Structure 1
Amino acid sequence: MLFHVPYVLPASVGLVPLGQGALGVSFFFVLSGFILRHAHAPEDFRPLPFYRRRAARVLPLHYATLLVWIWLFFASWGNSLVEKINSGVANFLAIHALFSGHLFTLGYNAVSWSISVEIIFYALFPLLLAGRRALHLFIACALVVVLMPPGVAVALDQAFTSFFHFHPAARLLEFSAGMALHALWRHLRPTEGVATVVQLGAILLLLVLVPASAGLPAHLRNLVLLAPFGLLILGFAWHGPLTRLLSRPLSVLLGEASFALYMTHHMLFRLLDPWLAGLGAAVALPVAVAAAVLLSIAVFLLFERPVRNLLNRPASPGHSRVLAATPVPQGGGRG
């Protein structure tokens, strides 16, 4: 959110409060691999219910914000009607991250490109659950990054604008790292003191490596920053005083509303910018951030959670009884 401020609050704020904020998406992809692996044990995993629940999680808000964007900004968008339609179809199908150029990767609700990447990861997830496939994929991706000739990296960026930022193939490095990280977490149970040291050390390492890696090519930087991102996730997945702080009701609510914050703040800031102009950055920025947070909580409570619960509800009482009577595979069953 703070990374987008200079782009969507130029008149009222015009500052760059978090110039490296785009790295938050890198962290998100690692965290996503970790959490999905944690939530879906292979012993009782079934692909179709997984796909249904993932669709209920991300698509309603994606479509809602897409419609709001069309209502508010479609007429003023400077591209031709054909370009708008092409980008709109790709956005509707949530495959726009597969197409090169900002017409697709940043078209309509610009932040939704990462949702397109994530949906592709959802499609691949069942294939990566068995055995050590996620670990093997991560090793392969890391080797490709390390051994890639500079000319190849430049060519990829020329063929696909900002390939290592937007394309799902480039982001598989982080998603597979998150899944592999979960296997490490399952086998390590440190004391609370060790967990706290890891948490603080990860934060310190992040503060050091973010500026130190700024001059690296994008693909190498993504690999280097896996170290602090991985330690952050490990540290906070273990118990410790900082973990308890983030487990309080307000922190949990803000976490639950974070997807809505991500999907709505870009449009909200664009709308607020002319109204906040003249107040000064010291006033305009906190007002805009507070408005974005409050809107995200409202969207989560009034739209996102109710719609998700509705879509995840069994089709009928009879359907529920059938599911309840279905035996769970034992031993090495994969469902």
Structure 2
Amino acid sequence: MKRPLSDLPDRLQQLPALTSLRFLAAMAVVLFHVPYVLPASVGLKPLEQGALGVSFFFVLSGFILRHAQAPQGFDTLAFYRRRAARVLPLHYLTLLTWTWLFFDSWGNSLTEKINSGVANLLAIHALFSGHLFTLGYNAVSWSISAELVFYALFPLLLGGRRAVWLFAILAIGMLLLPQDAAAGLERAFQGFFYFHPAARLLEFSAGMALHALWRRFNPGEGMATRIQLGGLLALLALVPASAGWPVHLRNLALLLPFGLLILGFAYGGPLTRLLSHPLPVLLGEASFALYMTHHMLFRLLDPHLVALGPAAALAVASAAAILLSILVLRLFEQPVRRLLNRAPMPSHSRRMAATPVPQGGVGG
């Protein structure tokens, strides 16, 4: 059923259940990193496919940014300013913290460290091939570099059906890409389909296209619940089934369950109301800090948790990471964001900057 114009939610409407889903995606990434950053105390692989949480973040980011912005009266400067205030302060805080804690123990040469450091300072490190850049310093920040590319392109995709067309072109291109060509891209750029913004633009544009579908239909709570459950079942089926697929085809296939989950929880229903309670929403709001800080925190905690045993060590480390993320949100992210958004700007930009924005992807 087409959603009547009178029933369309105001663009300022919050979608708290989607904010809560960010916490689940962030925890998936946290659990994926456990064998790398808690090798002595845990050493297990509690969620081997947890890196897919980043794919969900990118789709959600496109959906939420499109939801929060109307093409009419869109202020590009205000948008860029808000996005920079949202992601860059924590990126720089964690970059400085990592440098202070781990720079001396990093085995690369000083020249390589400087090259990677400059790329990280400019937040362009996802554009360069090799783990020196994509995983240098605070390893998870490569996704922030990719998000900034999406933010730069967002004003160009906002009007009309540009995002829908871009998604269609990218999806068909990925589907028809010869395996030799895909392998060549991977040789030219290590991990191209995982790290490079040009490859991950598929997911961001899918999120924007998904929002166009959400605006068009209003299926009711019963159907929303079925869509949610269908997304969950599709995720449980496709994640193991696609484990051996090429990365670009797997990213394309997983748009189905991720899209169904985002649509279902944006529509409503009992499960949506459950995830709209204050506690899961708070955890979702703190998910960006959780994502950006857990890697370093776990490395620091690892030698001190060995005596607890794997299960207890994982529980303690996870609880500490969640607590730290809430503290970082309350004591750093939110105050700094308010301060940066308070500085003088043109009157129209001030109105745009005062707009409450639902929380979305990796960078919120």
Cα drift, residue 320 of structure 1: 5.5
The structure 2 residue matched to 1:184, chosen from 210, 213, 232, is: 213
Q: What per-residue deviation string (whole Å, max 9, x for no partner) do you get for residues 141-196 of structure 1?
A: 01111111100111111111111000000001100000000000001111111101
Structure 1 contact 314–320 (Cα < 8 Å) conserved: no
Q: Which residue of 2 aligns with 1:8?
A: 37
Q: Which residue of 2 aligns with 1:194?
A: 223
Q: Secondary structure at the match of 1:43?
A: coil
Cα drift, residue 278 of structure 1: 2.3
Q: What per-residue deviation string (whole Å, max 9, x for no partner) do you get for residues 77-110 of structure 1?
A: 0000000000000000000000000000000000
For 1:37 and 1:282, how far apart are their aligned partners in 2?
41
Q: Which residue of 1 aligns with 2:109?
A: 80
Structure 1 contact 261–296 (Cα < 8 Å) conserved: yes
For 1:309 and 1:195, how far apart are their aligned partners in 2?
35
For 2:213 and 2:74, how far apart are their aligned partners in 1?
20
Q: Which residue of 2 aligns with 1:333?
A: none
For 1:113 and 1:164, how far apart are their aligned partners in 2?
13
Cα drift, residue 279 of structure 1: 1.4
Cα drift, residue 291 of structure 1: 0.2
For 1:238 and 1:24, how far apart are their aligned partners in 2?
21
The structure 1 residue matched to 2:254, chosen from 225, 228, 233, is: 225
With over 3 angstroms needed to count, the CA separation of the structure-2 counterparts of 1:191 and 1:84, relative to structure 1, is same
| Equivalent runs, 1:269-288 vs 2, <5 Å | 269-288=298-317
Q: Which residue of 2 aligns with 1:329?
A: none
For 1:276 and 1:185, how far apart are their aligned partners in 2?
46
The structure 1 residue matched to 2:171, chosen from 142, 159, 162, is: 142
The structure 2 residue matched to 1:111, chosen from 126, 140, 155, is: 140
Q: Which residue of 2 aligns with 1:102?
A: 131
Aligned letter for 1:21?
G
For 2:47 and 2:332, how far apart are their aligned partners in 1?
29
Q: Which residue of 2 aligns with 1:120?
A: 149
| Bigger Rg over Cα | 1
For 1:321 and 1:11, how far apart are their aligned partners in 2?
54
Q: Which residue of 1 aligns with 2:48?
A: 19
With over 3 angstroms needed to count, the CA separation of the structure-2 counterparts of 1:219 and 1:323, relative to structure 1, is closer
Q: Which residue of 2 aligns with 1:59?
A: 88
Q: Which residue of 1 aligns with 2:331?
A: 302
| Equivalent runs, 1:224-303 vs 2, <5 Å | 224-303=253-332
Q: Secondary structure at the match of 1:14?
A: coil
For 2:281 and 2:105, how far apart are their aligned partners in 1?
38
For 2:252 and 2:191, how far apart are their aligned partners in 1?
16
1:133 aligns with 2:158: no
Structure 1 contact 138–177 (Cα < 8 Å) conserved: yes
With over 3 angstroms needed to count, the CA separation of the structure-2 counterparts of 1:193 and 1:297, relative to structure 1, is same
Aligned letter for 1:240?
G
With over 3 angstroms needed to count, the CA separation of the structure-2 counterparts of 1:322 and 1:112, relative to structure 1, is closer
With over 3 angstroms needed to count, the CA separation of the structure-2 counterparts of 1:244 and 1:321, relative to structure 1, is closer
Structure 2 contact 78–349 (Cα < 8 Å) conserved: no
TM-score (normalizing by structure 2): 0.87
TM-score (normalizing by structure 1): 0.94
For 1:311 and 1:44, how far apart are their aligned partners in 2?
22
Q: Which residue of 2 aligns with 1:161?
A: 190
Gaps of 5+ in 1: 325-335
Aligned letter for 1:304?
E
Q: Secondary structure at the match of 2:320?
A: helix
Q: Which runs of 4+ in 1 moved over 4 A?
A: 319-324
Cα drift, residue 321 of structure 1: 9.7
Identity across aligned pairs (percent)?
75
Q: What per-residue deviation string (whole Å, max 9, x for no partner) do you get for residues 276-328 of structure 1?
A: 11211011000000000000000000000000011111428xx669957xxxx
Q: Which residue of 1 aligns with 2:236?
A: 207
